[in-house]
Amino acid sequence: MESPIPTVLSSSEVLGDSEVAAAAAMVRELMEVIETVGSYAGFRKTQRKDCLNLVRRLKLLVPLLEEIKDQVGNPLGVSGSGMDSLVSLKKALLGAKKLLKNCNHGSKIYLAMESEAVLSRFHGVYDKLNQALDGMPYDELGVSVEVKEQVELMRMQLKRAKRRTDTQDMELAMDMMVVFSKTDDRNADIAILERLANKLELHTIADLKAETAAIWKLVKHRGGHNETVQQILDLLGKFKLIVGIDETVSLDGPISTRTLRRCQSSLIPNEFLCPITLEIMTDPVIVATGQTYERESITKWLNSNHRTCPKTGQTLDHLSLAPNFALRNLILQWCEKNNFELPKKDTYPSSDTYSADLMEEISLLVKDLSSSHPNVRQDAVMQIRMLSKENPENRISIANTGGIPGLVQLLYYPDSKIQEHAVTALLNLSIDETNKRLIAREGAIKAIIEILQNGTDEARENSAAALFSLSMLNENKILVGNFNGIPPLVNLLQNGTIRGKKDAATALFNLSLNQANKSKAIKAGIIPPLLRLLDDKNLDMVDEALSILLLLVSHPEGRNEIGRLSFVETLVGIIRSGTPKNKECAVSVLLELGLNNSSLALAALQFGVYEPLKEIAINGTNRAQRKANSLLQHMSKCEHIP
């Protein structure tokens, strides 16, 4: 009986004609993969840096493949080991292509939610590329020394990339945590939603249509609808409301009246439909680019601080809206001829009139902030507070008319309600990035800290929220710390209302990203109230407490105070029975403690952490699995666990 033909050729065997043709085809395919990923131009913002770096590194393989292609045509051809290396490289490149394609076409909301898991996939791609290139027979493949050195340089870059940890976009992370929370009453705050939509680049009609399609593909790929998908759909619906699309996003259920109306709209001439809502227009207006929209829809768009034409994407030279009487007459004639009844809608004043009236109102209110009559002053600051909450355009207008200095002066006014309105108005204004600097420049931070110490409950809550917003700028983090703003935040965390505790935790988390502020927070006594939050399940602030502790445990003073047996036992309890997110944070804190003090890792074993850790290593979140495996390995070294 003849022995079977080996499927893998030894390094001494030269491929036959058919294998040479296959090798040549494979090299061409690999080069096409690199060319394809190089053409991707829409990488999601949350993964853009990693995607561009990976594409740049993959392009470094092109000279290698070109030299291999030349070798394939030589009489000696390519050896079996060379072919095996190409097969491994193909698998690695196809894995990279799949990941990059997902980051180019996938749901922006989903990729932001799963950023840790996606980062883990990048690390997996780096490993596969390194493994494929590790056994590459360069000499047999006729690869020059220069190209070999270039490939080795790329491999070193991949290894460094896996070790690198960029600073997370904390504002994005905190906003995501708020909008997905079922208990945080800020989850529908228009300012947070606007900021999040901008960060995720979901602020145009085209963006939202593409995101809707991406979510449908995600659901189809995952084989159904689950809680995560519903969270994504709910957030998408809120983003659509911001730009003027009033619809419920759903993947099942009965067809809505709006959907039926859009089915009817297929019979209506396209030029009669508003490009934003796809409904027949009752009050068509022309914008600066010459495009026509329904007045209500384009007004909502402009009031959301957009300065581009939704259809063309061009920047608008001006914001005037001109009635399109000719088109309106054509619509009315068509409706009469086809017995079609136009939907009843409210009439709106022209944008020019509205803007001029509003600017005049804001200007008068800003002047009234300095009135000698207390009632006039209080009424003005209260109205500015309300206007600053409504939309981005108002926030810019209030700042441009000199409202910020007037509001800062009122922070020192001896009336608690006026202080409360002033600090809340500044909180709303600080949502705008430019205003953050203007507010700090006017000396507001020191005054906000004084209100945080002595104001009403609502004023203290909003002062904490304002410090969080302002400290998104690194220079303001330093100012808050230098003006001794951390101790009153710790006091609010310990003694404030539920809302106050949440606002204080958010601010302290952000401020503790600064190394000097970590030490100040620890000295201000932040650790005890954080530990109490871990035990108080009614407040639902375990995630916030653990997130801050994870920052503080990287500081030697923090480790000294946190690293007690009673705290380790608490962490083990959370690892055993907490929510998936709780477990992830608790494992991360315990890993940091254990790496710096092996006795604490051994103590965790005595408290029974081993079995829960093994479970998390298999079924936890992606980040929790990585941390749990690292902790298990460290514990194994400490006590030689098999």
Q: pLDDT tens across 228-279, in order?
A: 788 888 888 888 877 666 555 554 443 333 433 443 444 678 788 888 777 7
Kindly write down the DSSP assignment for every residue of 374-425, as one continuous string. HHHHHHHHHHHHHHHHH-HHHHHHHHHTTHHHHHHHHTTSS-HHHHHHHHHH
Share of the chain above pLDDT 90, in %: 34
Query: pLDDT digits over 461-510, tens only?
Result: 999 999 998 988 889 999 999 999 999 999 999 999 988 998 999 899 98
**Higher pLDDT, residue 212 or 19:** 212
Encode pLDDT of 332-391 as tens digits.
Answer: 888 888 777 777 654 444 445 446 778 888 999 999 999 989 899 999 999 999 888 877
Q: Write out the two tokens for 118.
A: 């996606």
Q: What's 270-338's CATH class? A: alpha beta
Distances (CA, A) of 557 to 482, 515, 600: 19, 11, 16
Spell out the domain ranges in the chain: 17-163, 170-243, 270-338
How confident is the prediction for the chain on average, in pLDDT? 82
Q: How much is the average pLDDT of 622-637?
A: 87
Instruction: For residue 564, give every residue at least 6 positions away whose Cβ sits within 8 Å of its Cβ, in sequence order, or none.
Output: none
| Cβ atoms of 438 and 404 closer than 8 Å | yes
Global confidence as pTM = 0.56
Whether residue 236 contacts residue 249, with contact meaning beta carbons closer than 8 Å, is answered with yes
- Phi and psi at residue 112, to the nearest 5°: -70, -40
**Do 140 and 81 meet the contact criterion of CB atoms below 8 Å apart?**
yes
* pLDDT recorded at residue 266: 40
Mean pLDDT for 116-140 is: 86
Instruction: State residue 225's pLDDT score.
Output: 64
CA-based nearest residue to 91, from 132, 130, 127? 132
| Short-list 544, 552, 610, 601, CA closest to 576 | 610
Q: Which two tokens stand for residue 363?
A: 């200007």
| Mean of pLDDT values over 286-308 | 83
Tell me how far apart the alpha carbons of residues 215 and 29 are, in angstroms, rounded to a whole number: 30
Q: How far apart are CA 512 and CA 518, in angstroms?
A: 5
pLDDT of residue 505: 92
Average pLDDT estimate for 18-40: 84
- The answer on pLDDT for 641 being more than 60 is no
- What is the tens place of the pLDDT at every residue in 184-206? 555 566 777 888 888 898 877 77
Check residue 83 and give its pLDDT.
78
Residue 78 Ramachandran class (φ > 0 left, ψ -120 to 50 alpha, else beta): beta
What percent of the chain has pLDDT above 70?
85
Check if the beta carbon of residue 78 is closer than 8 Å to that of residue 71: yes
